Structure 1
Amino acid sequence: MNDDKQPPQQPQGNPWMKNLMIWAGILLAVLFFVQVAGGGGSAPAGNSIGYSDFLQKVEDGSVKNAVITKEYIQGELSNGQRYRTYAPQDPQIIDRLKQQGVAFSAEPEPQTSVWLILLYQSLPFLLMIGIAIFVMRQMQKNAGSGAMGFGKSKAKMLTEKHGRVTFDDVAGIDEAREELQEIVDFLKDPSKFARLGGKIPKGALLVGSPGTGKTLLARAIAGEANVPFFTISGSDFVEMFVGVGASRVRDMFEQAKKNAPCIVFIDEIDAVGRHRGAGLGNGNDEREQTLNQLLVEMDGFEANEGIIIIAATNRPDVLDPALLRPGRFDRQVVVPRPDIEGREKILAVHMKKLPLAPDVDARTIARGTPGFSGADLANLANEAALLAARKGKRLVAMKEFEEAKDKVMMGAERKSMVMTEDEKKATAYHEAGHALVSLHVPGCDPLHKVTIIPRGRALGVTWNLPERDRYSMNMKQMKARLALSFGGRIAEQLIYGEDELNTGASNDIQQATDLARAMVMEYGMSEKLGWLRYRDNQDEVFLGHSVARTQSISGETAKLIDQEVRRLVEEGEATARKVLTEHLDELHSLAAALLEYETLSGEEAKKAIKGEDIGREDPSKRHPALPVTGTSIPTTRRPRGGIGGPAPQGA
Structure 2
Amino acid sequence: ELRRMASPSLVRLVCAVGLFHHAVGWAPVAPMRAVRSATPMRRAVPLLSTLSEGAKGDKEPRLKAALTQMQGRIKQARKRPAPDWVRRAAKKTGAILFRLRGVLPAILVALLLLLRASSGGPPRPVELPFSAFMSMAADKATTSRLTSVKVSMSRIAFMLDGSPAFVRTPRASYDLVQFMHRAGLDFAAAPVSSAAAFMPLAFPLIWLGALYSVMRKQMGGATKSVGKRASARLDPTELSFEDVAGVPEALVEVREIVDMLQDSAAFDKVGARLPAGVLMVGPPGTGKTLLA
User: Would you call these one fold, judging by a TM-score over 0.5?
Assistant: no
> Between Structure 1 and Structure 2, whose CA radius of gyration is higher?
2
Highest RCO, 1 vs 2 (Cα 8 Å, sep ≥ 6) = 1
- Which one has a larger percent helix, Structure 1 or Structure 2? 2
Q: TM-score, normalised by structure 2?
A: 0.27
